[in-house]
Amino acid sequence: NGGADKPTVKGGAAAKARPQDDDFQLSQALSLLKGLSITRGN
């Protein structure tokens, strides 16, 4: 079943090959949270 293997390759190999994407998403989420807390006045 080649179709069943494709998601595993995408999620595993791609994530290991590009770890900087996780850092980018983390910083993006953090900046979003900061912006929300600022607008809410917390």
**Measured distance CA(25)–CA(34) in Å, rounded:** 14
Query: What's the confidence (pLDDT) of residue 22?
Result: 79
SS3 for the chain is: CHHHHHHHHHHHHHHHHCCHHHHHHHHHHHHHHHHHHHHHCC
CA 24, 18, 7, 3 dihedral sign is: positive
What is the predicted pLDDT for the residue at 42? 57
pLDDT of the residue at 12: 55
CB 22 within 8 Å of CB 15:
yes
How much is the pTM? 0.40
Q: What is the pLDDT of residue 10?
A: 52
Q: What are the domain boundaries of the chain?
A: 2-40
| pLDDT in single tens digits along all 42 residues of the chain | 555 555 554 555 555 555 567 788 889 999 998 888 777 665
